[in-house]
Amino acid sequence: MFCKGIYGYPPHKQVYNPASMKPPFDLVIFDCDGVLVDSEPFANQVFVQLVRESSNLDLDETVYLKKFYGVTLPNRMKITAEELNWTPPSTFLEDFNSRLKTLTEERLQPIEGIHTLINSIPTPICVASNGTREEIVHRLKISGLTEKFGKSIFSGHEMPQPKPAPDVYLAAARSFGASPSRCIVIEDSIPGVTAGVKAGMKVYGFAAYTPAAELQKIGAIPFSAMNELKKMLAL
Do residues 27 and 182 touch, judged by C-beta distance below 8 A?
yes
pLDDT, position 66? 87
pLDDT string in tens for the chain (235-residue length) = 444 433 343 443 444 455 556 789 999 999 999 999 999 889 899 999 999 999 988 899 999 998 998 888 999 999 999 999 999 999 999 999 999 999 999 999 999 999 999 999 999 999 999 999 999 999 999 999 999 999 999 999 999 999 999 999 999 999 999 999 999 999 999 999 999 999 999 999 999 999 999 999 999 999 999 999 999 999 8
Domains of the chain and any CATH numbers: 27-38+109-232 (3.40.50.1000), 41-107 (1.10.150.240)
- What DSSP string runs through 59-75? --HHHHHHHTTT--HHH
Characterise 150 by phi-psi region: left (phi > 0), alpha (psi -120 to 50), beta (else).
left
Helix (H) or strand (E) holding 203: strand 202-206
Phi-psi domain of 201 (left: phi exceeds 0; alpha: psi -120 through 50; beta: other):
beta
Q: What is the pTM of this model?
A: 0.83
Which residues, 6 or more positions from 59, have their beta carbon under 8 angstroms from its beta carbon? 48, 51, 52
pLDDT, residue 2, reads 40
In degrees rounded to 5, what are phi and psi of residue 115?
Answer: -65, -45
Phi-psi region of 91 (alpha: psi -120 to 50; beta: other; left: phi over 0): alpha
The answer to whether residues 171 and 165 touch, using CB atoms and an 8 Å cutoff, is: no
What SS3 state is found at 31?
Answer: coil
Predicted local confidence at residue 35, as pLDDT: 97
Amino acid at 181: S
Cα–Cα distance list, 50 to 82, 93, 94, 142 (Å):
16, 10, 11, 24
How far does the chain reach from its first CA to its final CA, in angstroms? 33
Going by the DSSP 8-state scheme, the letter that residue 129 receives in this structure is E
The closest alpha carbon to 205, from 62, 35, 81, 71, belongs to 35
Helix (H, G, I), strand (E, B) or coil at 222: strand
Angle made by CA atoms 228, 39, 218, in degrees to the nearest 5: 55
